[in-house]
Structure 1
Amino acid sequence: MASAGLIKCAILILALVARANAIHIYLDWNVNLDTTIQPVSMDQPVITINGMFPGPLINATTNDFVHVNVFNNMDEPLLFTWNGIEQRLNSWQDGVSGTNCPILPGTNWTYVFQTKDQIGSFFYFPSINFHKAAGGFGPIRVINRNVIAVPFPKPEAEFDLLIGDWSYDSYKATRSLMSTIETAYYVLPDIMLMNGKGPLDNPMSIDFESFNVTQGKTYRLRISNVGTALSFNFRIQNHQMVLVETEGSYTNHITLDSLDVHVGQSYSVLVTANQNEADYYMVASPKMLNTSDFSSLVGIGVLHYSNSVSTVGGPLPDGPDPFDLDFSLVQARSIRWNLTAGAARPNPQGTFNVSNVTLSQTFILESSVAQLQNLPRYVVNNVSYYTLTTPLKLADHFVNGSGVYQLDSFPVKSVNTNASYGVSVVTGIHKGWLEIVFKNNLDAMDSWHLDGFGFYVVGFGIGDWTTESRSTYNLYDPVVRSTVQVYPGAWTAVYAFLDNPGMWNLRSQLLKHWYLGQELYVRVHDDDPNPAKERPPPENLLLCGIFSESPPGPAPGPWTG
């Protein structure tokens, strides 16, 4: 058996080889509010990137450096965030309001991030000003280096399938509805899009999505829910899917007739074209809605066999009852980590045995709604996040946060008696294991996301969570992903290993919830100024808020409140 020293040496050599093979990818993005591209038969502005909706694919390999020079040609400030890309040691590039100053209209700014130690399916989207409701999203693929085996045969081809709900109104009109109690809580999207195209045979659709396949070949579909509000169930008529990956983790292979995909989530499935040469429906139907009342919210595309001479017809393939939580919970619990597979590095995914870890912290976060100053708000433990003009990361770096936020001023294990606004920033212990229990007191599905880290999804349950609920956790092979669903009146438990210093956004992925305050920030700090712990601010750092004029020098040490 090899000694521990030899193993460490081999891993170091492989890491150095990977670093040497890393390439730099340079992208120029012209971002416009375009009135000529129409996903549906409505006059509405769409956010395009280089004239494209959805935006262009970012195709990278593990450890590559991606440079994205964003030219903001819109009439509002703009930011992009990279959903699921962990930004190792570098929350300066995270692209949310707490870490970055916005790119002002008529200006440009270059993001630089590394796809370090990651593989899988992800996507990007604009993160402020309700822009995601107007588009601006696109796919990200991070592929293995050749020295790492992929745990399934190479498919004939890959398709990116970005599915999401869409509204007929402009994003500014929908955004304005968020300002009144009478409208904010009741806004529903109007239609479901697949890759920016409407459902087949819908009178509002200008086009529909279709994938061409060859009989006998197997294809990889990278499916992402890029919508603002609705989970959906995806299925392909007469075809089964083999689940192989979710947001950077290879999963145990399970064969599915349909797959639930919640807002902000991404999956890879393998589909074999093993049916007669014909056309078949691809369907995405919303969860928690009666589709007979909302038929336009059923996304419909086509899987087209290359020699097909027939068109699709007849009834759509049936899916599970959209209100059947038992089906969803059983499927969610069946999605598990493939502990025998390599991922971005030559060690197996099961690097951590989470059954043996010692928890450093527990957050219990309850989501609900409130009215504050007669305005609609979403709250976490009865605190609705108040967005500042000064990014928290800037304040942390220049003045140790002083005068901008107070660390740990709001509860993470209890609920305040009265609802209030707050700039909620909580301590995350560097290199500690954090347990988060998300409790959903809403009557709708929710999704939670933590920038900078993956969630080890250890448990789901209906009703209240108690310490005894830990006995139901899966600590052997919980899947690791960046976004996790929380069912109505239910709880979801995750672990996160806080090895990535920075200021990290913890939020609902539902756009309305996020926009109206369902978020907080986790400050993971290490006193060591060594840039190997956390990178210094970039040379092109944007300044705003209280630092618009002349920022002070960097803070000499951590802010203690």
Structure 2
Amino acid sequence: MASPGDHRWLVVCLTVLTFAVANGAEIFLEWHVAIDTTIRPVSVDQPVITINGMFPGPLINATTNDNVHVNVFNDMDEPLLITWNGIQQRLNSWQDGVAGTNCPIQPGTNWTYVFQAKDQIGTFFYFPSINFQKAGGGFGPIRVNNRDVILVPFGKPEAEFDLLIGDWYQRSYKDVRSMMNTELLAYYSPPDMMLMNGKGPYMNPLAKAHESFTVTQGKMYRLRISNVGIAWSFNFRIQNHRMVVVETEGSYTNQITVDSLDVHVGQSYSVLVTADQNATDYYMVATPKMTNASNTSTLVGIGILHYENSTTPANGPLPSGPDPFDRDFSINQAKSIRWNLTTGAARPNPQGTFNVSNVTISQTFILQGSTAEIDGTPSYTVNNVSYLTPDTPLKLADFFANGSGVYQLDTFPVDSVNNGTVRGTFVATGNHRGWLQIVFKNNLDVMDAWHLDGFGFYVVGFGDGNWAPELNSTYNLYESRCSLHCSGGWTAVYSYLDNPGMWNLRSQQLKNWYLGEELYVRVYDADPNPAKERPPPGNLLLCGKFQPPPLPPPPPSPSEPSTAPPPRSSAPPPQISW
């Protein structure tokens, strides 16, 4: 490996290089991320993170293979990173926007993300990834549309609506973050309300506004639903209307009709809704899973499906859903959602090009989430190991110094529970171009959810009790998605590791992630060919062990002559210490 100084000059040289990408448009966005205390989603003064004054933030509306440039100005009072939940950052983990890959954008500065929606379609969202900021907002929708040459496997809807639903604390996210240091509050401090697109429940006295979508009788609409919350899975339904599930985070599904839909933290769905009822208003309802929530509870999110020209408000009882403690409902519904193997998506060839039921597994990770107290502080763990975020991003350390002194490679117990609880910075190797099987086992009282940046999951198995290798014979291909839930027992997935980089594998439960339920997977290819993994960007931020060199002192004022001796022409050029 070259010396750090050699890499520095490579980074500088990259400022003059560009990469041509076929068939993709260039999208340029400028975002100002700030704090607003006047929005009051729950009628109390609290800091809400806005983007260009909006909460939720603006839509990123792209098409397959488009290149998105997002110039993020941090107008907050603390560092910031934005991550793109489900956008796989093909060949380019430098743009992932998590603590393991990027130095944070400091207050009063800006940084431009450049990423490609390469070979993707579907429904996703973005959010701030550090400092517990997601609990304060800063999230927004992402659509990746089909190219014109690729048929969509359903009729063109009259309109599309982005519906970001999530739980919300009735206090500052900074206060909630501080609470995480207290064991009781860290584990048992539930959110206070469910928001729909940043708005409180319909007719709730604590809510300043409610969400409403206007539809025309007889027309069909696409709802892109995302769980942008902190802790709760939710069940979503619309009074007197049924929904047709057509897409999960970038994959088209066999179309099934449902009365209600469970959406777990970090997940996104597309459903089709036909306005086939009388022209009045109807309730849209989201209720949390694994907790009691009555019709009057603030934890019931309520919006309105408003028929054009309707003068009749929604009335009657809220539409009922499944028992919130019925884990089997969630599992059985997940099993009923199957990947459509015959339709195209980002490419014209069928989604079922991979024969996922007959692959050779090169690695198996068996991961169990649980809680622990380490050195007197509350922690969440994976296999009894709680992740410690270093000052230096892992990707930066990997590039400049082969990870030396920043993380431990391949000491994490990927298929067993560690003897005793520990905290540290651990990275597991993922075999490049190998099939990884991950079995997630949930030892928590809540429905956990998991996400692996850079890749999708092929969900192949669910079960109770302990997993064993012979259970592979029971596998079936259910769906392909970016975030999955584990409601109890175990959930098995396959992932094809064809994307070199340093990738975050985490719980989507915000407090679990914040308190250590994560690790990183290093997928390494020694070939420096940028067609396999792009080099660092020209605007690469430096921090931690690789601080940028100090700026030279300003030149003396013309009115104050310098007291320093003049430079000698025979002196060698200055050397920068790196």
Tell me the equivalent position of 2:58.
Answer: 56
Cα distance in structure 2, aligned partners of 1:549 and 1:531: 24
Tell me the equivalent position of 2:543.
Answer: 544
SS class of match (1:426) = strand
Tell me the equivalent position of 1:513.
Answer: 512
1:13-412 equivalences under 5 Å are 19-292=21-294, 295-412=297-414
Tell me the equivalent position of 1:501.
Answer: 500
Give the aligned residue type for 1:530. Answer: N
Alpha-carbon distance, 1:325 to partner: 1.5
Alpha-carbon distance, 1:143 to partner: 0.2
Which deviations, in whole Å up to 9, do the C-alpha atoms of 1:387-406 show, x marking residues without a partner? 00000000000011111112
Give the aligned residue type for 2:54. Answer: M
Give the aligned residue type for 2:114. Answer: V
Cα distance in structure 2, aligned partners of 1:471 and 1:199: 46
Alpha-carbon distance, 1:182 to partner: 2.5
Contact 2:294 2:300 (8 Å CA) reproduced:
no
Cα distance in structure 1, aligned partners of 2:286 and 2:456: 26
SS class of match (2:386) = strand
- Unmatched 5+ residue regions in structure 2? 1-19, 551-574
Cα distance in structure 2, aligned partners of 1:49 and 1:462: 43
SS class of match (2:364) = strand
Alpha-carbon distance, 1:469 to partner: 2.1
Cα distance in structure 1, aligned partners of 2:338 and 2:368: 26
Tell me the equivalent position of 1:479.
Answer: 479
Tell me the equivalent position of 1:465.
Answer: 467
Give the aligned residue type for 2:500. Answer: P
Give the aligned residue type for 2:400. Answer: F
Tell me the equivalent position of 1:5.
Answer: none
Which deviations, in whole Å up to 9, do the C-alpha atoms of 1:136-192 show, x marking residues without a partner? 000000000000000000000000000000000100100010001121111100000
Give the aligned residue type for 1:547. Answer: F
Cα distance in structure 2, aligned partners of 1:200 and 1:130: 27
Tell me the equivalent position of 1:528.
Answer: 527
Contact 2:37 2:46 (8 Å CA) reproduced:
yes
Tell me the equivalent position of 2:427.
Answer: 425
Cα distance in structure 1, aligned partners of 2:26 and 2:527: 28
Alpha-carbon distance, 1:307 to partner: 2.1
Cα distance in structure 2, aligned partners of 1:72 and 1:113: 19
SS class of match (1:21) = coil
Cα distance in structure 1, aligned partners of 2:232 and 2:381: 19
Of stretches 291-300 and 187-196 in structure 1, the one that deviates more from structure 2 is 291-300
Of stretches 541-550 and 53-62 in structure 1, the one that deviates more from structure 2 is 541-550
Which deviations, in whole Å up to 9, do the C-alpha atoms of 1:56-108 show, x marking residues without a partner? 00000000000000000000000000000000000000000000000000000
Tell me the equivalent position of 2:564.
Answer: none
Give the aligned residue type for 2:515. Answer: L
Give the aligned residue type for 2:544. Answer: G
SS class of match (1:296) = coil
Alpha-carbon distance, 1:292 to partner: 2.8
| Structure whose alpha-carbon radius of gyration is higher | 2
Cα distance in structure 1, aligned partners of 2:490 and 2:296: 28
Cα distance in structure 2, aligned partners of 1:119 and 1:71: 28
Cα distance in structure 2, aligned partners of 1:545 and 1:188: 34
Cα distance in structure 2, aligned partners of 1:180 and 1:389: 23
Cα distance in structure 1, aligned partners of 2:227 and 2:143: 15
Tell me the equivalent position of 1:443.
Answer: 445
Give the aligned residue type for 2:308. Answer: S
Tell me the equivalent position of 1:15.
Answer: none
Contact 2:164 2:197 (8 Å CA) reproduced:
yes
Cα distance in structure 2, aligned partners of 1:39 and 1:459: 39
Give the aligned residue type for 2:35. Answer: L
SS class of match (1:86) = coil
Cα distance in structure 2, aligned partners of 1:294 and 1:80: 35
Give the aligned residue type for 1:362. Answer: T
Structure 1 outlier segments of 4+, above 6 Å: none
Cα distance in structure 1, aligned partners of 2:424 and 2:482: 25
SS class of match (1:302) = strand
Alpha-carbon distance, 1:326 to partner: 1.7
Cα distance in structure 1, aligned partners of 2:51 and 2:490: 38
Cα distance in structure 1, aligned partners of 2:301 and 2:313: 17
Give the aligned residue type for 1:487. Answer: S
Alpha-carbon distance, 1:336 to partner: 0.8
> Alignment identity in percent?
74
Cα distance in structure 2, aligned partners of 1:170 and 1:496: 38
SS class of match (1:350) = helix
Cα distance in structure 2, aligned partners of 1:275 and 1:406: 59
Count of residues in correspondence between the two structures: 534
Alpha-carbon distance, 1:473 to partner: 1.0
Alpha-carbon distance, 1:351 to partner: 1.4
SS class of match (2:185) = helix
Alpha-carbon distance, 1:291 to partner: 1.0
Q: How high is the TM-score relative to the length of structure 1?
A: 0.94
Q: How high is the TM-score relative to the length of structure 2?
A: 0.91
Alpha-carbon distance, 1:40 to partner: 1.5
